[in-house]
Structure 1
């Protein structure tokens, strides 16, 4: 059984986080706030390190994940979220959990603010990911942890 953890976030601002949670029709991944005001962050900064950030955040989103089979990723694209334009990236693949095996095909969407990941959530019926063109994601295909790494480079 897949267990989605409740929080994958970077503390970057309540206003934009509320817009993302409200307009994306996604479950809240909350925990936003902190000292950085969204007024001090340019939401249109390109997420240059998006692949590494996604790989780092994935185990926080899917508990006990050890690898992802057949992963795909979109290029970062600007999209409307509330009254703002932010970068988003869609990721798809079949997460594998050591205790229960493959979880089947999943689609996730990562929203970026100031070039850093702000939310990473199940995409559901998000129109951005439904229309997306995916390309191979070899960095995620070769990622593994725990017993799944035995015998792999």
Structure 2
């Protein structure tokens, strides 16, 4: 029974997080809701929260290369100020190959990692990156 519950939670997590990744259309997000009101606190668990979010975001979290991360800074996202941390990494594709480096922005709402933004070039302009070896060591 315990194994089934764990499996169900693993399957449900990406579905629960999927609502947070959208932002367009009618999908609910923390960023647009009343839960994100007021000044945003600096995130306490930047690395661990980012790893948890990336585990759900990446199709295959194993084998990431050249991972680096910038410290969170306040940026305007959707007309409001949020802490944003930028990532650079080369993910392993589903066929096992490596194509190119990706840049993504992780948006923190109420001090927690909330979503990954694919179009990060403007948000990450001028970011200062440092190695993020934890992202390279992820397992399934």
Common fold by TM > 0.5: yes
The answer to whether the 8 A contact 1:43-1:112 is kept is no
Shift of 1:67: 2.4
Quote the RMSD (CA, aligned, Å). Answer: 3.3
Q: 2:86 aligns with which of 68, 86, 90?
A: 90
Distance 1:54 1:30 in 2: 25
- 1:48 Cα deviation (Å)? 1.1
**In the superposition, relative to structure 1, how do residues 134 and 6 fare at CA in structure 2: closer, same or farther (>3 Å)?**
farther
CA gap of 1:69–1:50, structure 2 versus 1, over 3 A, is same
Alpha-carbon shift at residue 30 of structure 1 (Å): 7.4
Residue 143, structure 1, aligned to residue 99, structure 2: no
Assess if the C-alpha contact under 8 Å between 1:6 and 1:61 holds in 2: no
* 2:40 aligned partner: 44
How many equivalent pairs are there?
126
Deviations 1:51-79 (A, max 9, x none): 11111121322213312101010001011
Unaligned runs of 5+ in 2: 1-13
Specify the alignment match of 2:50 in structure 1: 54
* TM-score (structure 2 length as normaliser): 0.70
Alignment correspondent of 2:5: none
- The CA deviation at 1:97 is 3.5
1:10 touches 1:118 (CA, 8 Å); kept in 2?
A: no
The aligned residue for residue 10 of structure 2 is none
